[in-house]
């Protein structure tokens, strides 16, 4: 009896050959006039966005410390599940040099206010993440081990989430961070410096639980969130010049956008079609892709729940790629 291996890759019949059009080129990128419009960075708007993200994260912890009750720390812990996602996604925007048009401001804010407080090595991340965009799902893909092997059996998925939810995955990242700092990696030391300051500040105001909640939420809730988001972006796809074969399309809901895919990162196919488009304009490019007939309903998952059901539908676990589950560009990576 022949066993059919399930796949998450769309079939050829689900990929209409409709490009180029007057507004999109053969790769789905907007033509010049529209592309110039979509690539404009809203500097003033992003100042407000960064301020709100910091208020929802550092502000939430500060309020918990001020109230200093068990329930205020629990609320802060829960809020930080989505809060760390906000900091990391805005850090991702800065890594793409799309947060502010002034590159110095972009990198200073992206590193010191967004990425480092949330344990993301932005400069190292930028190097490996650009490799991710150059060779999605190919042999040079830095996160191939994270995305490969899907769909997987439900029990394998539960084991992965259990490692994330219990801090095992986070421990491996922190061990790598400390090891890199000992070897002299400047950015690793800068991250540790930021967290010495944060810890010291919490101790100085006699509220050390503020920092405990901060690191605990990152080590558990955000780790789970990061995995499920990452797999929903590229899990089980293949190397191709056609981005519909490298990146999933999932309909966006308000709940998902609040807790897991903030700042339009859920319109991920549009981001991979043109990684030079700021987050505010990704839905506009996605709408163009749909209007052209290039993205059709047949390749769109109606919800994240529907995607995860498909991604965990296998009956037999496929062989792991070496280092499976330790995606480099999405986490702490200090390789040159």
pLDDT tens digit string along 182-209? 999 999 999 999 999 999 999 999 999 9
Residues 105-119, buried b or exposed e (16+ Cβ, 10 A)? ebbebbbebbbbbbb
> pLDDT at residue 110 above 60?
yes
Structure tokens of 250?
């999932």
As a whole-number percent, the residues of the chain with pLDDT over 90 amount to 89
Q: Is the pLDDT of residue 5 over 90?
A: no
The answer to whether the CB of 224 falls within 8 A of the CB of 169 is no
Q: What is the rounded CA–CA span in Å between residue 187 and residue 182? A: 11
Instruction: Summarize the confidence of residues 107-121 as an average pLDDT.
Output: 98
| CA–CA distance, 316 with 319 (Å, rounded to integer) | 10
Q: Tokens representing 38? A: 């979509």
Q: How confident is the model at residue 324 (pLDDT cuts 50, 70, 90)?
A: very low
Sequence-distant contacts of 74-78: CB under 8 A, at least 24 apart: 76/210, 76/213, 76/217, 77/213, 77/216, 77/217, 77/221, 78/217, 78/221
Are 278 and 40 in contact by the 8 Å Cβ rule? The answer is yes
Predicted confidence band of residue 319 (pLDDT cuts 50, 70, 90): low
Assign 335 a pLDDT band (cuts: 50, 70, 90): very low
Number of C-alpha atoms within 13 angstroms, CB side, residue 178? 7
* Strand pairing class (249-250; 300-301): parallel
Burial (Cβ within 10 Å: 0-12, 13-18, ≥19) of residue 101: middle
pLDDT band at 3 (very low <50, low <70, confident <90, very high): low
Average pLDDT of the residues of the chain? 93
pTM for this prediction: 0.93
Runs of H (alpha helix) within the chain: 32-38, 43-67, 70-95, 103-108, 122-134, 144-147, 154-165, 168-182, 186-204, 209-217, 223-234, 254-259, 268-273, 282-291, 304-311
- How far is 294 from 325, CA to CA, in rounded Å? 31
pLDDT at 322 over 70: no
Segment 122-136 shows an average pLDDT of 94
Question: What is the distance between the alpha carbons of residues 170 and 88, in angstroms, rounded to a whole number?
Answer: 15
Tokens representing residue 18 in the block: 């409709």
- Sign, CA dihedral 144-149-152-155, equals negative
Q: pLDDT band at 6, cuts 50/70/90? A: confident
pLDDT, residue 318, reads: 62
pLDDT at 326: 45
Q: What is the DSSP string of 18-31?
A: ----SSB-TTSPBP
According to DSSP, residue 317 is labeled P
């Amino acid at each position: 009896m022949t066993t059919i291996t399930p796949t998450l890759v769309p079939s050829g019949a689900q990929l209409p050959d409709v490009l180029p059009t007057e507004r999109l080129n053969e790769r789905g990128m907007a033509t010049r006039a529209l592309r110039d419009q979509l690539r404009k960075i809203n500097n003033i708007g992003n100042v407000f966005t960064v301020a709100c993200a910091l208020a929802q994260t550092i502000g939430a912890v500060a309020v918990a410390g001020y109230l200093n009750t068990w329930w205020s720390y629990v609320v802060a812990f829960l809020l930080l599940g989505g809060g760390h996602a906000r900091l990391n996604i805005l850090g991702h925007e800065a890594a793409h040099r799309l947060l502010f048009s002034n590159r110095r401001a972009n990198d200073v804010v992206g590193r010191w206010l967004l990425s480092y407080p949330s344990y993301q090595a932005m400069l190292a991340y930028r190097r490996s993440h650009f490799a991710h965009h150059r060779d999605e799902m190919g042999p040079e893909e830095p996160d191939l081990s994270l995305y490969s092997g899907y769909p997987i059996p439900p029990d394998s998925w539960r084991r992965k989430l259990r490692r994330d939810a219990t801090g095992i995955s986070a421990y491996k990242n922190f061990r790598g961070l400390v090891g890199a700092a000992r070897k002299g990696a400047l950015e690793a030391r800068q991250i540790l410096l930021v967290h010495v300051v944060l810890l010291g500040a919490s101790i100085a105001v006699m509220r050390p639980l503020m920092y405990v909640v901060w690191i605990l939420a990152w080590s558990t809730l955000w780790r789970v969130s990061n995995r499920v988001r990452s797999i929903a972006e590229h899990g089980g796809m293949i190397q191709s010049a056609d981005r519909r074969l490298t990146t999933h399309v999932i309909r966006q809901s308000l709940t998902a956008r609040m807790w897991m895919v903030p700042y339009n990162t859920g319109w991920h196919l549009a981001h991979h079609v043109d990684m030079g488009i700021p987050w505010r304009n990704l839905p506009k490019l996605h709408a163009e892709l749909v209007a052209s007939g290039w993205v059709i309903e047949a390749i769109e998952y109606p919800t994240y729940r529907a995607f995860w059901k498909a991604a965990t539908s296998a009956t037999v676990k496929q062989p792991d790629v070496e280092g499976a589950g330790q995606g480099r560009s999405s986490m702490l990576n200090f390789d040159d």
